[in-house]
Amino acid sequence: MLVMPSFPLSLYLTYEELKQVFGRKQIVVFDVFISYL
């Protein structure tokens, strides 16, 4: 299992859930938000 301290697993799982709920179009906005963190 790869360890990625800069990208917590819990955040990744939340991201995956958001992709399923909102779809790709809204996730583009979330991608921009993540890039500013």
In the predicted structure, residue 2 carries a pLDDT above the cut 60 = no
Structural domain harbouring 7 = 1-37
pLDDT given at position 31: 76
On the 0-12 / 13-18 / 19+ scale of CB atoms within 10 A, 15 is middle
What digits encode the pLDDT tens for the residues 9-31? 777 778 788 777 766 666 677 77
Nearest to 2 by CA among 12, 25, 18: 12
The total of structural domains in the chain comes to 1
pTM over 0.75: no
CA angle 13-16-22, nearest 5°? 135
pLDDT given at position 37: 65
Number of residues written out for the chain: 37
d(CA 35, CA 37): 6
pLDDT given at position 6: 61
